[in-house]
Amino acid sequence: MSLMIGKNAVVGINYTLTNDAGEVMDTSEGRGPLNYLHGANNLIPGLEKELEGKTTGATFKTTIQPADAYGESNPEMIQTLPLEMFKGVEKVEPGMGFTAQGPQGQQHIVVTEVNGDQVTVDGNHPMAGKTLHFDVEVVSVRDATEQEIEHGHVHDGGHDH
């Protein structure tokens, strides 16, 4: 009898993630399956919900809306900063990522525009506001160990805290 995916199952999936234009945003191809602990918020909620109850060998395609993925893009996370805040950076260009100290602690920001001495940055998750299309194959399902449940993630050998 195959184990069904539910809370505290360790699940291995092969997946390909594409955007609305069909471009591949992420894939497990060439890296081997992604192993995660089900029910421990290690995956976006929409994908975890789709995996619930599936068994090894299951394959499916699913479309996840932003609300069940990385959330909507928050306009308050987009700011224009003076160029002098980027001291020590030779040339600030769109696409560059930085870690900034924000009110919620460290935050990843990406430069979206440079206009003279004004730099526009976006602190939203790169996939915020995007509809995600997954093609998934469940390759393994097992019960998590007590230690994995306690730590909230999978231990794939050689794991040290």
pLDDT, tens digit, 9 for 90 and up, residues 11-37: 999 999 999 999 999 999 999 999 999
Residue type, 49: K
Dist. CA 122–CA 1, nearest whole Å: 48
Mapped onto helix, strand or coil, the DSSP state of residue 48 is helix
pLDDT of amino acid 1: 66
- Give pLDDT tens digits for 96-146: 999 887 766 788 899 999 999 999 999 999 899 999 999 999 999 999 999
pLDDT at 160 over 60: no
* Strand bridging mode 59-64 / 105-115: unpaired
pLDDT at 158 over 60: no
pLDDT of amino acid 31: 94
Backbone angles phi, psi at 46, to 5 degrees: -65, -40
pLDDT of amino acid 87: 87
Q: Is the Cβ–Cβ distance between 80 and 96 less than 8 Å?
A: no
Kindly report the average pLDDT of the chain as a whole number.
Answer: 92
Q: Dihedral sign, CA of 143, 147, 151, 157? A: negative
Of 160 and 93, more confident? 93
Place of tokens 């430069």: 111
- State in Å, rounded, how far the first CA of the chain is from the last one: 34
Percent of the chain with pLDDT strictly greater than 70: 94
Query: Domains along the chain?
Result: 9-70+127-151 (3.10.50.40), 75-122 (2.40.10.330)
pLDDT of amino acid 101: 77
